[in-house]
């Protein structure tokens, strides 16, 4: 088959193509689109929900399943002000907001190229003095909307781990170094949400708090920086599209003494996908002081008591999903036509296998359905009997499905099917009785 590399899209062109594909194929839809959408909020469609789930599953596998030093937790999203008072978020979790007196646009001061000029209308000297804007979403728990009922939607999952430190320690019987992993929704009232699902007001995080003896903090910080970078590479992001960048002192969060970001080369430049922070004993000490509950560890081997330090790899699941989509998007020319293919890692692809009867003729469909039922317990499968086979292959390429299994008229005689591989488009004839094992080997490779 004649295949030529097309010039791969980049920059704004790549971004537009990925956003367009996400809508067309059902990865991501604007929230409440029939009402005009809702402020940079998005819904995850049939294949987006699968991809996002697979991103989180891959993280869970590497952080929880394959280790014996990290335990899971699923803490509440709603929490009382006391938590955020102690954590410092009520005071410090702010961005500097400026308004343009000329066009009314709002900007984050720290994101402006020229702090004297409004990037919306270009007017010089039109921006107000900055005021600190707290990013936490505030609500009321219960029917009375008074101060006593104030609650916050968490802006990070981490505080749920810190306030449960003693509970987890007692129940799990772990000792430092050990970690607590959480995956879940977080909320930030971002002044400037932007770039599709890169920065939204509602998003998902994958965070792990790793509690260590104080004198081991630096070593574990270095360890987690390398581990987390490796995770993205193993899941198919080219190494030259990733880098670790350590924060300058003036960029550090109020709780951190050192932070490095795993950055990806986004179409608009390098951007953060994950931050690895050395949070010291800041959070446990703050919660001890504010709650009166001792959050420390007694080491029976040395008979000493200490407050563990925390190394935190904090990733965005929705942002990682966007990163994987951008890195996987490719185009090539096949027989004079452009083929779009998402070269997603097998474990991330929404479907691992598509079952495609060559035609909708009644003699093929029952066999194709039997093949589908054979594969469903092992892999997430799509089934598609509409349109010409070539168009169905192209659709699966755009969804990133690694293998397509075609049931044709020969299948009725030789009890074999054609297995087509997404990237090479190579085809193998495989006996139905060997199919599960054949695909299992390929998907494990």
Interaction site with ligand GAP (CB under 6 A): 156, 158, 188, 190, 199-200, 203, 205, 207, 272-275, 312, 314-316, 318-319
| Closest to 197 measured CA to CA, from 37, 51, 317 | 317
Nearer to ligand GAP, 9 or 96 (CB): 96
Name the minimum Å distance from CB 243 to ligand GAP. 14
Name the minimum Å distance from CB 172 to ligand GAP. 21
Nearer to ligand GAP, 190 or 408 (CB): 190
| Closest to 404 measured CA to CA, from 391, 388, 392 | 392
Name the minimum Å distance from CB 348 to ligand GAP. 16
* CA angle (86, 184, 66) in 5-degree steps: 105
Nearer to ligand GAP, 15 or 403 (CB): 15
Q: How far, in Å, are 97, 102, 191, 401 from residue 126 at the CA level?
A: 14, 6, 18, 51
CA atoms within 13 A on the CB side of 176: 26
Judged by phi (left if over 0) then psi (alpha if -120 to 50, else beta), residue 164 lies in: alpha
Nearer to ligand GAP, 48 or 316 (CB): 316
What is the spatial distance between Cα 173 and Cα 157, in angstroms, rounded to a whole number?
A: 22
- Token pair for 362: 């009644």
What is the spatial distance between Cα 45 and Cα 122, in angstroms, rounded to a whole number?
A: 38
| Closest to 430 measured CA to CA, from 412, 409, 413, 405 | 405
Name the minimum Å distance from CB 221 to ligand GAP. 14
Nearer to ligand GAP, 205 or 401 (CB): 205
Nearer to ligand GAP, 314 or 381 (CB): 314
Q: How far, in Å, are 1, 283, 412 from residue 430 at the CA level?
A: 21, 57, 13
Nearer to ligand GAP, 284 or 314 (CB): 314
Q: How far, in Å, are 86, 220, 254, 258, 317 from residue 249 at the CA level?
A: 23, 20, 11, 8, 27
Name the minimum Å distance from CB 235 to ligand GAP. 15
Name the minimum Å distance from CB 219 to ligand GAP. 21
Name the minimum Å distance from CB 141 to ligand GAP. 23
Q: Report the residue closest to ligand GAP, judged by CB.
A: 316
Q: DSSP for 248-271?
A: PGGG--TT-SEEEEEEEEETTEEE
Nearer to ligand GAP, 31 or 123 (CB): 31
Name the minimum Å distance from CB 67 to ligand GAP. 20
Q: How far, in Å, are 89, 168, 349 from residue 184 at the CA level?
A: 19, 18, 21
């Amino acid at each position: 088959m004649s295949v030529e590399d097309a010039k791969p899209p980049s920059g704004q062109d790549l971004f537009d193509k990925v956003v367009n594909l996400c809508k067309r194929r059902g990865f991501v839809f604007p929230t409440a689109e029939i009402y005009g959408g809702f402020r940079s909020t998005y819904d995850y469609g049939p294949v987006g929900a699968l991809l996002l789930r697979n991103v989180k599953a891959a993280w869970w596998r590497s952080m929880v399943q394959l280790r014996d030093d990290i335990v899971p937790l699923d803490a509440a999203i709603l929490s009382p002000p006391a938590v955020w008072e102690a954590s410092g978020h009520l005071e410090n979790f702010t961005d500097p907001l400026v308004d343009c007196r000329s066009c009314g646009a709002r900007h984050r001061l720290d994101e402006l190229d020229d702090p004297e000029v409004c990037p919306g209308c270009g007017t010089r000297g039109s921006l107000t003095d900055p005021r600190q804007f707290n990013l936490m979403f505030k609500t009321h728990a219960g029917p009375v909307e008074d101060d006593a009922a104030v609650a916050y939607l968490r802006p990070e999952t981490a505080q749920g781990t810190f306030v449960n430190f003693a509970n987890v320690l007692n129940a799990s019987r772990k000792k430092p170094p050990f970690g607590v992993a959480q995956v879940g929704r977080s909320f930030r009232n971002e002044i400037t949400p932007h770039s599709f699902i890169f920065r939204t007001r509602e998003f998902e995080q994958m965070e792990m708090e790793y509690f260590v003896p104080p004198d081991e903090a630096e070593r574990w910080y270095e360890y987690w920086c390398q581990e987390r970078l490796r995770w993205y590479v193993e899941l198919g992001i080219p190494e030259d599209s990733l880098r670790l960048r350590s924060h300058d002192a003036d960029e550090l969060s109020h709780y951190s003494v050192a932070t490095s970001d795993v950055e990806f080369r986004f179409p608009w430049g390098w951007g953060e996908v994950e931050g690895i922070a050395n949070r010291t004993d800041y959070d446990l000490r703050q919660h001890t002081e504010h709650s009166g509950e001792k959050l420390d560890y007694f080491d029976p081997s040395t008979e000493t008591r200490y407050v563990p330090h925390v190394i935190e790899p904090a990733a965005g699941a929705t942002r990682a999903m966007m990163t994987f989509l951008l890195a996987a998007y490719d185009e090539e020319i096949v027989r004079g036509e452009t083929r779009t293919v998402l070269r997603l890692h097998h474990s991330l692809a929404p479907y691992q296998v598509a079952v495609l009867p060559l035609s909708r003729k009644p003699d093929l469909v029952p066999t194709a359905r039997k093949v589908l039922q054979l594969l469903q317990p092992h892999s997430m499968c799509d089934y598609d009997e509409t349109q010409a086979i070539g168009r169905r292959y192209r659709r699966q390429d755009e969804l990133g499905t690694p293998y397509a299994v075609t049931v044709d008229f020969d299948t009725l005689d030789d009890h074999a099917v054609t297995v087509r591989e997404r990237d090479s488009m190579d085809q193998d004839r495989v006996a139905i009785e060997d199919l599960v094992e054949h695909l299992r080997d390929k998907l494990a490779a």
